[in-house]
Structure formats: C-alpha cells, structure tokens
Structure 1
Amino acid sequence: MVPPNVHIQYVDEVVNISDGESFELSRQLGRTEGIFCGGSSGTNLGAALRVARDLDKDAVVVFIICDTGEHYLTKHHSDEWLKSKRLLEPQKMTAGLISGTKAANAPQSLVSVKPEDKLAEALSKMDELGLTQIPVLEEGKPVGSLRENRVLAKVVRSRHLLEAAVSEVMEESFPVVDVDASAQEVTQRLQSSPAVLIEEYGRITGIITRHDVLDLKLGNTGSLA
C-alpha cells in the first residue's frame, strides 16, 4: 500500500518484501535482539538486508522499527495463525540449535583451557566433566586443542609432561563454524575433526562433538534435519 501523502520524489528505490519474509524477520528480531515488533518493522529489516548486500562492508545501514508486536499476538506472532496461512517455514537445524540440544548430563556452556595451564590441571578438568577433547583458548580465540587419548599416550611415555604447559602438547585447533551454519556443514566438518567450535558475533560460544550429533541422530536429544 502506498499512502497518498508519500513524497515519491525522495524515493530512490522500491524493494518488494513478501509477507512471509516480513513476518519471519519480525519474529527473528524478537528472538535474537529482544525487539518485539510488528510485521512492518520486519519489512523494513528485509529491505535493509537486501540493500546491504550491495554496499561496502564499512557502510552503515539504518532502518526504522515502526510498530510494536503487541497488536499481532494472534497474528504473525502466533505459530497456529502462521500455519493456517501456510507461512510457517520448518525450522532448519543449525549449529546453534544442535549445541542447544545437548544431553542433560553434558556441560551446557563452553569448557576450555588456556595455553599456560598445566597439563595435569587440564586433564583433571576433562576427567571431572567426562570430556574426551577440549579447546584451548587464548583471550577468547582458539589456538589449539587437547584430545584425551593422544595426550594420555604422550604422558605414558613421558610422565614429566603432566607439569608442562598445555601449549607444549596441544594440537591444532578444532574448526570453527558460524552459529547459523547448517547441520550439513557441521557434519561435514566432523568427518575430519572430533569437534567443531561455534562462533557468534566474533566470539567462540560453544562446541559440537561427534557424540552430540550421534545423540541427535539416535533421537536421544532431538532431531537432526
């Protein structure tokens, strides 16, 4: 709808955004940013994202949150309403969702060690939490990893390594995937690595192991699509 009071001479481009995309982006603003808004704000975000694709990476894009979601509780903020209108897309399994479906006895937050930690302390932490691998982070960045079976094999040959720093025995870091990476990308990475790290807004926030994915496939914690 184009209102009669629009000043079309100031409009440089018109971007068409579907109802489905508007509603999904409106709901996404609520889930990820805590902004409870209406469908028109979702439309604005959709147009902003389209425009941003063709801009320089240093460009700043501003869009307007022009409505509130309280008037749409029984509309696009309702799963049942969206289903009745055939506007609800099946939820795609992502790295973030896989990480959020870990078994109840698994650590729910990222556990890591530092390069300067003693190996004995790192092994003790792994044993206490039942971990077979652990990432090594320095100032929040991945710099290496420890795998229990390989570390123990080294310790059996050279017991003095228990007093050594983690940096002396760590191996290469686990691969990193974005929090929104697809389940397919995660499983592909796990073919060559026992675990992958999850990055969100430039920070390492989680880890997915082969065991986590196996639990999903077996239906122990959810479903892997």
Structure 2
Amino acid sequence: MKYANNILETIGDTPMVKMNALVKDVEALVLAKYETFNPGNSVKDRMALKMIEDAEADGRLKPGGTIIEGTSGNTGMGLALVAIVKGYKLICVMADKQSKEKMDILRAVGAKVMVCPTNVEPDDPRSYYSVSKRLAEETPNSWYVNQYDNPSNAKAHYESTGPEIWEQTEGKITHFIVGVGTGGTISGVGKYLKEKNPNVKIWGIDTYGSVFKKYHETGIFDENEVYSYITEGIGEDILPENVNFSIIDGFTKVTDKDAAVYTQRLAKEEGMFLGNSAGAAIKGLLQLKDHFKKDDVVVVLFHDHGSRYVGKMFNDDWMRERGFLEEEVSTAVDLVKNHEEKPLVTVKTEELVSHAIERMRKFQISQIPVLDSEGFVGSVDESALFSAFLDDKNTADTPIREIMNDPFPIVEANTSLDEISSLIKNGNPAVLVALENGKHHIITKYDVISHIK
C-alpha cells in the first residue's frame, strides 16, 4: 500500500504546468510551478514545516508550546497543519486588509486569529509585527516564528522548491519569476538555481506601495514609496532579512488593478483558480516578455489558491467598487446600471437645510436634486451648504429653496460619456439621466472618474 503517514508528508512535489492562453504573445516556454497542490493550498506549507522542525531541533519550540506569527494567512495555514500534527497551539496575527476567507480558514483549523490595522507604521504598537512580538513576550512557553527574518524560510525553498524546479525542467530553466513578500521563496529558489547555473535570471514581482524595487536598484529605502495597497501576499514596508537582493536580477512592479484583473483572467482563460499574487506574477511576467527568447524556459511560481479570495478578486461587486472591473462604459446608462434599482435621493423646496444635511450624511452623498410639484427645480451640494453656513450660522432651519442652485442638467440614457464629462467639466457637480422606466438617476464626478481606464 502507498500512503502518507500524516498530512505533512504530502508537502512538496507539486506539478509544473504549461501556460497557454495568457502567454500566447511570449516567445518562450512558460511553465507554472503550481504550489496550491500542497495540503494547505500554498507554497508556505514548505517553510512552515521547516521553521518548526528547526525550532524543535534547537530547543526554541518546546513540547506543548504556543506558536505565534504575524501572517497574511498562508503561512498561518501551513503552521496550523504542522501544529495540529505535532500538538502545538497557534496564534496568528493578521492585518485587516487580508481576506475574510483567510481568517475563517485559520479559525477552522484551530488557530486563534488576532486582527490589526493595516495603515500603521511597522513599529507602531498596533501593527501586526509589533503585536506578534508582544504576544510572544507575554505568552508562557511560546515561540515567535518571524518568517521575515527566520533563515529556515529561505532554507526550505533551497532544499525543496529549487531542486524540484531544476529537475522538472531538466536544468533547462532560464528565468524564475515570483512575487516577493518575506523573500524566502525567491531567495531560497534563486540561490539553488544560481548554484546550478549562474546564468539563470531571477526576477521578483513587487507592488506599488512597497520598497523592494527601488531599494534593489538604488540601495535607498524610500519611505515615500510606502503607502497602503490592496494586493495581498507580496510587497513590504520593511526589508526582511530573507530577501537576498544579491541573488535577484531585477524587480517589476504590478498595480493593484492589474493584479486583481489577471487573477480573474487566470481562472477564466487558463482554468487556474489562484490567489491574488498569482495575478500579479503573471502580469509581471508579461511586462518582462522582452527579456525572453524563443528557446528560453521561464518558470513562474503561483503561491496560493483562489478560494481565499472569493469575496474579493472573484467578487464582481468588490472589483467594481474599486474600479477594477473591465466593463465597457460609453453611455449614461452604463454609468448607473449597477445601482439603477436604488431610489434617487431628493429633497423638496420647502424642506429645511438640516434635512438635506441629514440625507447627505445618511446616504454618504455630496449633492441632491431639489423637487417641487413641477419636477426638478434646483440642486444642493456640499459647496452650497458650506457657503450658506458661512453666511448664516443658523442656516439649518432655512428652507432649501432659499439656498438651492440651478437644477442639474438632464440627459438621455444613450448620452455619450464624453458629453456627460463636458457637462460636468462646465461647472455642473452632477447630471441626471432619464431612464426608460420614467425614473431618474444621478451621475456625479466620482461616477465618471471611477470608470476612467
């Protein structure tokens, strides 16, 4: 009989899969190292096992201990599997930008999950780096993994992922491309491949809001490059010790939108249901296609599974809200079709300014059409209310008709986007579109801007 003694013995030996549709314009052979076949559905299973085994060997992790780690989710899953088999408790500290699916999955396998804010400095006591360290200091018989600086992270990929890639390509690999977060994968695999063939090129995929690319090119850690981004699993606002910049030949940055769009395209065009960093990786590869020749063998590593992003990159509403959904927008009705069933918020001429303010606050809007028995007779927006308030601090009890502006222009459903943009550009804060059902909807500057490609 052929079987594994426990789930940990199924880690590694993941398949190599030829890419087709998305790389049709790339001359080289493009192969994907498909890491979702690991039991925890990500490449992080490899280093999770290695880090725990090494900590056990040198006494940092003792029987019955508690493992503590800051994670974007995948390392936590790998640690959870090992903790279950080996009898440890696990506390995972995550940033609030990570998907709900990742948090739910970790709780499902017995981990305790703590959520910290994303938009804070790494040394802020609320950051997931700081909270992880503090918990490790306060929890008896605990071990703080610190995947960013733990050398066992890169060592796991030097010992397993790198050799697998070399063997699966029969040593013909010419380029290795992977998203960079902790740096363990690119550094471990890159070190192994460079030792086998110094001519193999190692490329890292970075994201906007991360410091890797500029630091690699200039040696400058530019804090101005650090800002919040949506892409998960890659990029950092610190320099992890596991990132061996001397092994990496270059970085290319991928936008949040491109990473999200290509995550969907991998599923719809290649049948590859993968995570957000895979979208970034394949888009980065396409950005680098001029570096590849006909006989090259390019390997891109895909980190994790799409099931962890069902509520985000695979949710059209989520994508639409961020302007990521590639929809054809050319007319007025295209701009409102996703919310045309919602009622138009209005205010009547005899209502008070306070009513308009309350409606703006309730619906989080900046402008409201004004109605009387004849129809649309005016409009009110934030600037009008602000000016009225400056003139009279008691303006809240003033009827709307006394402070309202001219009514918004009304356009037909088939009015072009260019014409709408021109109306708004000419000083109108919004326009109204007359729909076929007799109802009206509002189009604001934000609606137009959000559909700019």
TM-score where L is the length of structure 2: 0.26
* Larger RCO: 1 or 2 (CA < 8 Å, sep 6+): 1
Which residue of structure 2 aligns with residue 145 of structure 1?
Answer: 379
Residues 384 and 403 of structure 2 are in contact (CA less than 8 Å); yes or no, is this contact kept in structure 1? no
Residues 140 and 204 of structure 1 are in contact (CA less than 8 Å); yes or no, is this contact kept in structure 2? no
Larger radius of gyration: 2
SS at match of 1:217: coil
**Residue identity in the other structure for 2:365:** L
**Residue identity in the other structure for 2:342:** Q
Residues 119 and 162 of structure 1 are in contact (CA less than 8 Å); yes or no, is this contact kept in structure 2? yes
Matched, 1:163 2:397: yes
Which residue of structure 1 aligns with residue 300 of structure 2?
Answer: none
Q: CA deviation at 1:92?
A: 6.6
TM-score where L is the length of structure 1: 0.50
Q: CA deviation at 1:97?
A: 1.5
| 2-structure distance, mates of 1:196, 1:182 | 13
Q: CA deviation at 1:150?
A: 2.5
Matched, 1:132 2:366: yes
Please list the CA deviations of residues 172-211 of structure 1 after superposition, one character each: whole Å capped at 9, or x if unmatched.
Answer: 0111101121222111111121100012359451010010
Matched, 1:199 2:434: yes
Matched, 1:118 2:371: no
SS at match of 2:451: helix
Q: 1:92 to 1:99 in 2, by over 3 A?
A: closer
| 2-structure distance, mates of 1:202, 1:172 | 25
| 2-structure distance, mates of 1:202, 1:136 | 20
For 1:41-52, list aligned pairs within 5 A.
Answer: none
Which residue of structure 1 aligns with residue 408 of structure 2?
Answer: 174
In structure 1, stretches of 5+ residues that fail to align are 1-90, 219-225
Residues 118 and 164 of structure 1 are in contact (CA less than 8 Å); yes or no, is this contact kept in structure 2? yes
- Using the aligned pairs only, state the percent identity: 27
**Residue identity in the other structure for 1:167:** R
Match for 2:424 among 150, 174, 190? Answer: 190
Residues 346 and 368 of structure 2 are in contact (CA less than 8 Å); yes or no, is this contact kept in structure 1? yes
Please list the CA deviations of residues 56-84 of structure 1 after superposition, one character each: whole Å capped at 9, or x if unmatched.
Answer: xxxxxxxxxxxxxxxxxxxxxxxxxxxxx
Please list the CA deviations of residues 2-52 of structure 1 after superposition, one character each: whole Å capped at 9, or x if unmatched.
Answer: xxxxxxxxxxxxxxxxxxxxxxxxxxxxxxxxxxxxxxxxxxxxxxxxxxx
Q: 1:163 to 1:150 in 2, by over 3 A?
A: same
Residues 133 and 147 of structure 1 are in contact (CA less than 8 Å); yes or no, is this contact kept in structure 2? yes
Which residue of structure 2 aligns with residue 93 of structure 1?
Answer: 330
SS at match of 1:198: strand
Q: Structure 1 residues 111-120 or 180-189, which shifts more?
A: 180-189
Residues 107 and 129 of structure 1 are in contact (CA less than 8 Å); yes or no, is this contact kept in structure 2? no
The structure that is strand-richer by fraction is: 2
Q: 1:134 to 1:147 in 2, by over 3 A?
A: same
Matched, 1:209 2:444: yes
| 1-structure distance, mates of 2:388, 2:341 | 26
Q: CA deviation at 1:149?
A: 2.3
